Amino acid sequence: MNRHTILLAAEFFQEGNEFYMTFYCEIPGVKKGYLYINLGHGQPKNAFWKGLLLTLQRIKNNQKRTLELAICSTYMTAFSEGNGQAEVIQALNQYSSYTIIDYKPFVDDLEKILLVGKSSESPPWTLVGYSMDQFAEMKNQSLTLMKQQAKQNRFYTEITMPKSGVVLDFETTSYITKFARVIEISALKFEAGEIIDEYHTLVNPEIKIPKASRDLTGISQEEVDAAPKSFDAMKKLYAFIKDSDIIVGHNIAYDYEFIEKFFNRFHFPVWKGKLLCTMRLAKSFKPGVKDYKLETLCDFYRISNERPHRAWSDTRATLEVMKHLYQDSLLLDVEVIATPRVE
């Protein structure tokens, strides 16, 4: 990195009604380290800008340099007009120049800092700093915390593929769950790796679908306008999954946020099963894959996904990916026969 360039990487987290941000900051010749802040409750768009502003104010004495800001550009767009946005833009413009760069290389460590920061129980709006030496000492501790959390949270951790469960996928109007509306639901019940039942519906989001969503999914405005509204669609989904012990999905944490949100809103009973994420599974079982997108894993295993980014097709592909992952890991239950690869 150029010695005149500051690097600031940031990630924003929401857990329930609370918000957090973590940062990695490198000022050549001065210092580098990590920062954590508990943003408390409120509107996510306000918390995001205020957290970013607080950190920029911490390093404002270096504004004669250039700045590389590694942050998810979607946040910058989705949280527009939040309180503090104007002040952040003003602070950024004080640098000789600034650019937005890819934040993904920093995500894992920023998530670890979140775990470490939360364990410190610092009060809201207190910016907590960690030196590189401190982070090195805490790194093993943070991994331990993640393992402890994995045992206590809702993820399925058995070494064999579940004999039964539901594969779930939502198509939505945005990647940010806070603002996204569901436009399609697909849920497949499986036993011994075979589909035994299915629930599928389009959903009326009661808004105009963004062009990006229409282009990605091929779902038209006319189709969703004629579809059931969220309450009816989610009521049927609840009836479909309520007796299942396992819900499977690719990046299932994203989809499960919708289950929690809608089930809470409509006062449905809490679903108490386990989650199985094929993306997490692939990261554990296939570390050499270039990335862990569903389409990449389908290509790797030569699985046909008839219509990517349609829930009815992605759930079928996810089921096949799960079966192949367990088969390749040599952890597949002998009673479960995976579909042969297409050569």
Reported in sequence order, the residue ranges of the chain that DSSP labels E, i.e. its strands, are 5-15, 18-27, 31-40, 66-70, 97-101, 128-131, 164-172, 182-191, 194-202, 246-249, 274-277
pLDDT reported for residue 66: 92
Residue 45 pLDDT > 50: yes
Q: Are 177 and 184 in contact (CB under 8 A)?
A: no
Residues 6+ apart with CB under 8 A from 223: 202
Q: What is the pLDDT of residues 174-193, one digit of tens each?
A: 988 888 999 999 999 999 99
Band of the pLDDT at 1, cuts 50, 70, 90?
Answer: low
Q: State whether 70 and 192 are in the same domain.
A: no
List phi, psi (to 5°) of 264: -70, -45
Number of domains in the chain: 2
Please check whether residues 169 and 276 belong to one and the same domain.
yes
pTM above 0.85, yes or no: no
pLDDT, tens only, 145-165: 654 654 456 788 777 899 999
**Domain shared by 290 and 310, yes or no:** yes
Please check whether residues 169 and 318 belong to one and the same domain.
Answer: yes
What pLDDT does residue 115 have?
80
Position 333 in a domain: no
Last residue within a domain, chosen from 132, 152, 172: 152
pLDDT digits (tens, 9 = 90+) for 304-328: 999 999 999 999 999 999 999 988 7
Structural domain including 9 reads: 5-152
pLDDT at 35 over 70: yes
Task: Supply the pLDDT for residue 14.
Answer: 79
Kindly tell me if the per-residue pLDDT of 136 is higher than 90: no
Q: Under a CB-based contact definition with an 8 Å cutoff, are residues 186 and 200 in contact? A: yes
- Is there a single domain that holds both residue 145 and residue 169? no
Distances (CA, A) of 149 to 20, 57, 292: 18, 33, 22
Q: Are residues 18 and 120 in the same domain?
A: yes
